Amino acid sequence: MNMQKKDQPMNVNDPTPVRTKPWAPVFLSSEEFGEEERESLMNVLEKKRVFRFYKPDVANSEARKLERLYRERLDVEHCLVMNSGTSALVSALIAAGVGPGDEVIIPAYTYIATASAVLIARAVPVIVEVDESLTMDPKAISAAITPYTKAVIPVHMKGVPCRMDEIMEIAEEHGLVVIEDVAQANGGSYNGKPLGTFGLAGCFSFQQFKLITSGEGGMMVTNDRKLYKRASIYHDSALAFWGTEEENIDVPSFPGENYRMSEINAALGLAQSRRIDQLVTKLRQVKKTIVDGIRDLPELQLQTIPDPEGDVSYVLIFYLKDQETARSFSDQLRLEGIPNGTIFNNGIADRHLYVNWEYVLEKRGISDKDNPWQSPLYKGNVQYDKEMCPRTLDLFKRAILINLHQQLTLEDCDDAIRAIRKVARAHRDDT
């Protein structure tokens, strides 16, 4: 099939939509459910063993197998699967000693769970700007550091790697803990190194909207044995009772939660995780095809990707010159049969943008007696308002997001290219 040529004549006044077929499925992960997932789940049910620490054959539990897969895949010493990505973040923060009186720097664009995890650890989130990559701007980190800054959480949003070299340099200079939020970037890398392996810890999610799912689930990885042990304690307050290797803890125990992952979730995650590279390869081919077909358009500014080779590539984002143009472009692109998202139509999930983090902006803790901002240990004075990150807001007012999928064909890519070029040409002719 021939792709749309960049110089091929196009009738921009043709009312016939470029595409009339449905676009990509919503989920990346569950569209891959098949015999491998079915066999993995049935194996657990047949064993009638759904609790990972049940004594018989505990060393071969599905959760252990999942941890082993990621230890080998990421080349890390320790891996701990849990019941959610949020649990992984909370456990990593607490294991790293983050707590009352501390500040943790987070980006203005991330799921609200990143901020919530900081608050659950009883620390204070400090919100900083993103740049054209829509990941944390390293310059903004430097400007936000105070005597109370304990940690920074770079978030690899929409599968795009953060500028980890610069972030790690800043963190090392100021003695900050780095905990990577890799919830949306499983399978990604930066300069050839897997995401999640740069900082003290990396935290992943296996929720259904992610590339790999276990229904609900999460994971923390680290090369620091003490951090791993403390996170293990926090993720299971009864850990020492199970009689497994995890009970060999050489750090003092302390109260914890129940963030354990079940064998059912682990079995599903294990089957899914075996195909990460295959999925990412397909996604990168789809994104590259579309990008190559539109990169010459002067009307568009493509999202900056700090390392294109490490991009998980399940989203295409570009910017228009102003918000009015973006709104018009989005509407016309939708009429051409290509669904897309902006902040105007909630196509970019609102809980991922700081202006909608109501309880953070209003400094609401769990209760009046349990509020990190009001803790007597906190001596800082962080302030929030909806206009505090103008660069981030400007980028999102001009951004258009198109979800990609591993099942998109060359014909689908061609439709996207033709539709984008048709709308761009129409805008060009109108000016």
User: Mean pLDDT score of the chain, rounded to an integer?
Assistant: 94
Res 131 pLDDT > 50: yes
pLDDT in tens, 27-56: 999 999 999 999 999 999 999 999 998 888
> What's the predicted TM-score (pTM) here?
0.94
* pLDDT at 317 (0 to 100): 98
Predicted confidence at residue 40, as pLDDT, reads 96
Residue 412 has pLDDT above 50, yes or no: yes
Rounded distance between C-alpha atoms, residue 393 and residue 323, angstroms: 10
Q: Quick one: DSSP state of residue 60?
A: G
pLDDT the model gives residue 3:
44
Point out which residues pair with 218 in neighbouring strands. Answer: 82, 205
Dihedral Cα 281, 283, 288, 290, nearest 10 deg: 150
What's the pLDDT score for residue 397? 96
What's the pLDDT at 1?
36
Residue 243: pLDDT over 80: no
pLDDT at position 2: 40
Which amino acid type is present at position 119? L
pLDDT of residue 8: 52
What b/e string do you get for 65-79 counting C-beta neighbours within 10 Å, with b at 16 or more?
A: bbbebbeebbebebb
pLDDT above 90 covers a percentage of the chain that reads 87
Per-residue pLDDT for 7 more than 60?
A: no
Radius of gyration of the chain (CA): 23
> Could you give the CA distance from residue 297 to residue 335 in angstroms, rounded to a whole number?
20
Q: How far apart are CA 71 and CA 62, in angstroms?
A: 14
pLDDT given for residue 18 in this prediction:
94
pLDDT value at position 55? 80
Average pLDDT over residues 155-172: 98
Question: Does residue 70 carry a pLDDT above 90?
Answer: yes
pLDDT of residue 367: 95
pLDDT attached to residue 280: 98
Question: What would the mean pLDDT of 180-188 be, rounded to a whole number?
Answer: 98
pLDDT tops 60 at residue 5: no
pLDDT at 289: 98
User: For position 348, what pLDDT does the model report?
Assistant: 84
Nearest-angstrom CA–CA distance, 194 and 79: 14
Q: What is the pLDDT of residue 54?
A: 86
Fold of the domain built from segment(s) 276-349+392-430:
Aspartate Aminotransferase, domain 1 (3.90.1150)
Q: What is the pLDDT of residue 10?
A: 60
Cα 76 to Cα 67, 102, 197: the distances in Å are 10, 28, 7
Convert the pLDDT of each residue in 264-284 to its tens digit: 999 999 999 999 999 999 999
Contact 265, 216 (CB under 8 A): yes
pLDDT for the residue numbered 245: 60
CATH topology for 35-274? Aspartate Aminotransferase; domain 2 (3.40.640)
Residue 431, pLDDT > 80, answer no
Give domain limits for the chain.
35-274, 276-349+392-430
How many Å apart are CA 416 and CA 271, to the nearest integer? Answer: 32
Type of residue found at 366: I
pLDDT at 13 over 90: no
> Do the two domains 35-274 and 276-349+392-430 of this chain adopt the same fold?
no
